[in-house]
Homo-oligomer: A and B are copies of this chain.
Amino acid sequence: MSKKPTTSQDVAKLAGVSRTTVSFVLNDVKGIQISGDTRRKVLKAAEELKYVPNAAAQALASQRAKIIGLILTRSPHHIATDAFITQIVNGLLGVIHQHDMRLLFDIIEPEHQRKAYLQMARAKRIDGILLSGPRSDDDALKILGEEGFPTVLIGQLPGTGFCSVDVDNRAAAKNAVTHLVNLGHDRIACITNAQPSYTASADRLAGYKDALDEAGLHFDESLVRYGDFDVESGYVQMFSLLEGGISFTSAFVASDTVALGAKAAIRDHGLNIPHDIALVGFDDLPFSQYTDPPLTTVHLPVVELAQQGCNMLIQILQNEHPPSQHTILSTKLVIRKSCGANQL
Interface residues of A (CB under 8 A from B): 1-2, 5, 50, 52-60, 65, 67, 70, 76-77, 79-83, 85-87, 89-90, 93-94, 97, 102-107, 113, 119-120, 122-125, 147-148, 230-231, 235, 257, 260-261, 263-264, 267, 286-287, 290-292, 294, 303
Contacts and interface: CB of A to CB of B under 8 A. Distances in A.
Nearest to A87: B80
A198 to B, nearest CB: 18
Copies per assembly: 2
Contacts of A86: 79-83, 85-86
Contacts of A59: 55-56, 59-60
A124 B60 contact: no
A224 to B, nearest CB: 22
18 contacts: A2-B147, A5-B124, A56-B56, A58-B123, A60-B60, A76-B93, A77-B90, A79-B86, A83-B86, A89-B107, A93-B106, A102-B104, A102-B120, A102-B125, A235-B290, A260-B287, A260-B290, A264-B292
Contact of A261 (B1, B57, B94, B290): B290
Contact of A80 (B79, B286, B290): B286
Contact of A286 (B56, B125, B230, B263): B230
B79 A287 contact: no
Contact of A52 (B119, B231, B257): B119
A103 B260 CA distance: 30
Nearest to A121: B52
A62 to B, nearest CB: 9
B286 A124 contact: no
Nearest to A70: B105
Contacts of A124: 5, 54-56
Contacts of A80: 86-87, 90, 286, 303
Given A80-B87, A81-B287, 7 more contacts: A55-B124, A80-B86, A83-B83, A85-B85, A86-B86, A97-B113, A260-B290
Given A82-B86, A123-B55, A287-B260, A105 B107 contact: no
